[in-house]
Amino acid sequence: MDSSPPSLPKAGQFFQLEPDMRRGSPGHGVVFDNVRELLTAPRVVLRPKQGGFPPLREKPRLVYCSKNGAPPQDLEGGMSGYWMVSDRLRRVMEDVDPEAFAFIDVDYRELDGGSVGGYSLCDVTRTLDALDESASKLHIEVSDDFEAGKFYDLTGEISLVFRPEVLSGAHVFRLAFHGGVFCDREFKEAVEAAGIYSAKKSNGIWFYDVVNR
């Protein structure tokens, strides 16, 4: 019988990683210009259910139009299931945890100009059943309506504890019953050290502490 004490949630150790939506409407002004040409029926988004990138007939084309919104920041969402990431953020991702991500180069250009580059499409492809449900505080919905049979509801006050034996050195991952992206303090600190994120300027990245009770 295991007599070791249960893990306790600690703030500042793990975070939900997502684009910073506090910029408000209209957001960024980038359009996925050729997504219809890349879709395979009956899919309505490019990202497959299993994640990653499907075979593509041509390079994704992203076009920025100032009339649609602000220039893209280091992390943007809404790209047919993918993130749009800057080159400097991609370097951090590849340095800290290369096995967590998949990338594809894009043709990024301004509406009235040539290709300017500087961005890729990104997907977090690692999914782990890493949540210690007994030590965590959250609402777990169990229903046949969910494809996986249950869903982690992370609204309201939560305290999440992850099983270190499942993480096994992973710094960035999705959860099997949630789908969101999570990261540890080491990844957050690497993003800060690269000058991408700070308490005063997010550059499009939001780290939401998973212990917020």
Mean pLDDT value of segment 172-188: 96
Q: Provide DSSP, the chain.
A: ---SPPP---TTSEEEEEE-GGG-TT-B-EEETTHHHH--TT-SSSS-TT-S----SS--EEEE-TTT-BPP-SEEEEETTEEEEEHHHHHHHHHH-GGGEEEEE-EEEETTS-B---EEEEEE--EE--B-TTT-B-EEEE-TTSTTSEEEE--SS-B--B-HHHHTT--EEEETTT--EEEEHHHHHHHHHTTS--SS--TTEEEEESB--
Mean pLDDT value of segment 180-207: 97
User: Per-residue pLDDT tens for 100-157?
Assistant: 999 999 999 988 777 788 999 999 999 999 999 999 999 999 988 887 789 999 999 9
The pLDDT score that the predictor gives to residue 6 is 52
Dmax (CA) of the chain: 68
- The full set of domain ranges for the chain reads 14-18+127-209, 23-124
Is pLDDT of 177 > 70? Answer: yes
Average pLDDT, the chain: 92
User: Per-residue pLDDT tens for 18-53?
Assistant: 999 887 667 899 999 999 999 988 889 999 999 999
Q: How confident is the model at residue 164 (pLDDT cuts 50, 70, 90)?
A: very high
Mean pLDDT value of segment 149-169: 94
Is pLDDT of 1 > 70? Answer: no
The pLDDT score that the predictor gives to residue 3 is 47
